[in-house]
A and B are shown apart, each in its own frame.
Chain A
Amino acid sequence: MTTQNLAASQIEVGQHLFRFELFGMTFNGDTLLASAVAAAVLIVLAFVLRAKITSGVPGGVQLFFETVTGAARTQVENLIGLKVAPFVLPLSMALFLYILIANWLAVLPVQIGGHDIIPPPASDTNFTYALALLVFVWYHVAGARRRGAGKHLVQLAKGHVSALAPLNLVEELSKPISLSLRLFGNVFGGTIMVSLIMGMFPAYILWAPNVVWKLFDLFVGLIQAFIFALLTILYFSQSMELEEDHH
C-alpha cells in the first residue's frame, strides 16, 4: 500500500522535457517535437499517396485515405452538405488523421530518464487548445460569411428557441473548452495510467498491464480523433445552417 502511494506521489503532472523560454513565452519542447513528428508522418503518408496514387487498383495507403475520405464525405454531406461547405471535408480529414497519429505516438517507448521524448501531444492542453481554437474561429467565420455577421450572432444566441438564449450562449462558450479538454483529458489520462502502471508494478510484471492499457489507449486515441473530427463537422453544421432550412 505504501509503495503504491509512493509510486503515485512520484508521478509528475505538467512536467515537460526540453522546456524553453522565448519572447517571454514558455515552450514545451517535447510537445512541439511530438506534434512535428505527427505532422511529418501525416505529410509523408500524403506524399506517398500522391506519388503512388492511381485510378487503377489502389495500394494500401490509398485505400486507407479513400476509406477515411469516404467516411468524412458521408458525414459532411449528411450534416452540412458538400456544396455548402466543401472546405470542411479536408479540414475534418486532416484533423482526424493528425490527431489519430498524434495519439498513437503514445504507444512508442521513446524515453530519456523515465520521460517520453515524444509524448502524445494531446496530453498537453496547448496542443488541444490550438486545435479547438482553430475550429472555433473557423466555424464562426464560416457562419458569419454564410449568414451575415449580425444575423450569425442573432442566430447564435437564439438557437432554435429564443427563450433558451442564455443556455445557447453557455453552450457556445463550452464548445471550444469541451472540444479541447475532452481530447486532452482522454490522452493525458492515458499517459497518467502508463506512469501509474510503471510506478505501481515491479518490472517483471508491469509489462502485462502496460500492454493491456496501451492497446486500449490505441483504441481511445482512435475514438478521440474520430470524435474531434465529427464534432468539428457538427459545429460547422450548426453555425452554417440557415433559419429557412427549418420548416
Chain B
Amino acid sequence: MDEVLAYIAELVAFAIIIFFVVRYIVPPARKAMRAQQETIKAQIERAEQTEKRLAVAEAKYADAVVEARQEAAKIRDNARADAQRIVEEMRVQADREVERIRVRGEEELANRRQHLMRELHAYLGQRSVEVADRLVGEHLADAGARSATVDRFLDELDAMSARDEAAERSLVASKGES
C-alpha cells in the first residue's frame, strides 16, 4: 500500500514536472525558436528580394546591351549613308571642277591660237612686204627690167581702159535700148 502511494506521489511529481516544463521552459524556448525562425524567414526573404533585384538588373542590362547594339547599328548605317552621300557629292563636285578646268583650258587654247594667228598674220604681212620691196627694188635697179615693167604696166593700163570702154559702151547700149 505504501509503495502504491509512493508511486502515485511520484506520478504527481511527474505531472508537476511536466507542468513546470510546459509553463516555464517551453515558452521561452518557443519564443527563441520563433525569433530564430523569423530571422531566417527575413533572411530568406531578403535573399529572394536580392535575387529578384539581380534578375531585374540583369534583364535591364541585357535590354541596355540590345538597345546599345541597335543604336550602334543605326549610327553605323547613318555614317555609311553619310559617307556614300559625301562621296557622291565630292564626285559631282570633282566632275564639275574637271569640266570647268577643261572648258577654261579650251578657251585658253583658243585664245592662244587666235593670238598666235594674229601675230603670224602680222609677221607674215610684214615679211611679205619686205620681200616684195626687195624684189621690186632689185627689179627696178635693172634699167631694162624697169622699162619693161613700165611698158608692161602701160600695156596693162591700155588693156584695162579698152575693157572699160567696151563695158561702158555695152552699158550705154543696153541703156539706150531700154
Residues of A within 8 A of B (CB): 56-58, 60, 63, 107-109, 111, 113-114, 198, 203-204, 206-208, 210-211, 214-215
Contacts A57-B37, A58-B37 given: A207-B44 contact, CB under 8 Å? no
A57/B10 in contact, CB under 8 A: no
Contacts A203-B2, A215-B20 given: A210-B10 contact, CB under 8 Å? yes
B17/A214 in contact, CB under 8 A: yes
**Complex Cα–Cα for A108 and B10 (A):** 10
A203/B8 in contact, CB under 8 A: yes
A58/B40 in contact, CB under 8 A: yes
Picked from A57, A58, A211, the residue with its CB within 8 Å of the CB of B16 is A211
Residue among B6, B12, B33 with the highest chain A CB neighbour number at 10 A:
B6
B13/A207 in contact, CB under 8 A: yes
Main secondary structure of the interface of A (DSSP, over half): helix
Question: Could you give 14 example pairs across A and B, Cβ below 8 Å?
Answer: A57-B40, A63-B37, A107-B14, A109-B10, A111-B7, A111-B10, A114-B3, A114-B7, A203-B9, A207-B9, A207-B13, A210-B10, A214-B14, A215-B20
Picked from B10, B14, B20, B40, the residue with its CB within 8 Å of the CB of A198 is B10
Residue among B10, B14, B40 with the highest chain A CB neighbour number at 10 A:
B10
B10/A107 in contact, CB under 8 A: no
**Complex Cα–Cα for A162 and B9 (A):** 59
Which residues of the partner chain B approach A207 to less than 8 Å between Cβ atoms? 9-10, 12-13, 16
Which residues of the partner chain A approach B41 to less than 8 Å between Cβ atoms? 57
**The 4 residue pairs across chains A and B that have the minimum distance between CB atoms:** A203-B5, A210-B13, A207-B13, A203-B9
* A60 to chain B: closest residue by CB: B33
* B8 to chain A: closest residue by CB: A203
A204/B9 in contact, CB under 8 A: yes
Chain B nearest CB: distance from A174 CB in Å?
A: 36
**Complex Cα–Cα for A215 and B25 (A):** 11
Chain B 1-39: CB-based contact to A (< 8 A → 1; otherwise 0): 011011111111110110010000000000001001100
A206/B17 in contact, CB under 8 A: no
**Complex Cα–Cα for A67 and B7 (A):** 37
* A198 to chain B: closest residue by CB: B6
Chain B nearest CB: distance from A15 CB in Å?
A: 15
Which residues of the partner chain A approach B37 to less than 8 Å between Cβ atoms? 57-58, 63
**Complex Cα–Cα for A208 and B9 (A):** 9
* A194 to chain B: closest residue by CB: B10
Residue among B2, B5, B9 with the highest chain A CB neighbour number at 10 A:
B9
Residue among B7, B17, B36 with the highest chain A CB neighbour number at 10 A:
B17
**Complex Cα–Cα for A63 and B36 (A):** 8
**Complex Cα–Cα for A60 and B37 (A):** 9
Which residues of the partner chain B approach A58 to less than 8 Å between Cβ atoms? 37, 40
A214/B13 in contact, CB under 8 A: yes
A210/B40 in contact, CB under 8 A: no
Chain A nearest CB: distance from B164 CB in Å?
A: 144
A206/B3 in contact, CB under 8 A: no
**Complex Cα–Cα for A107 and B37 (A):** 30
Chain B nearest CB: distance from A133 CB in Å?
A: 33
* B40 to chain A: closest residue by CB: A57
Which residues of the partner chain B approach A57 to less than 8 Å between Cβ atoms? 37, 40-41, 44
Which residues of the partner chain B approach A203 to less than 8 Å between Cβ atoms? 2, 5-6, 8-9
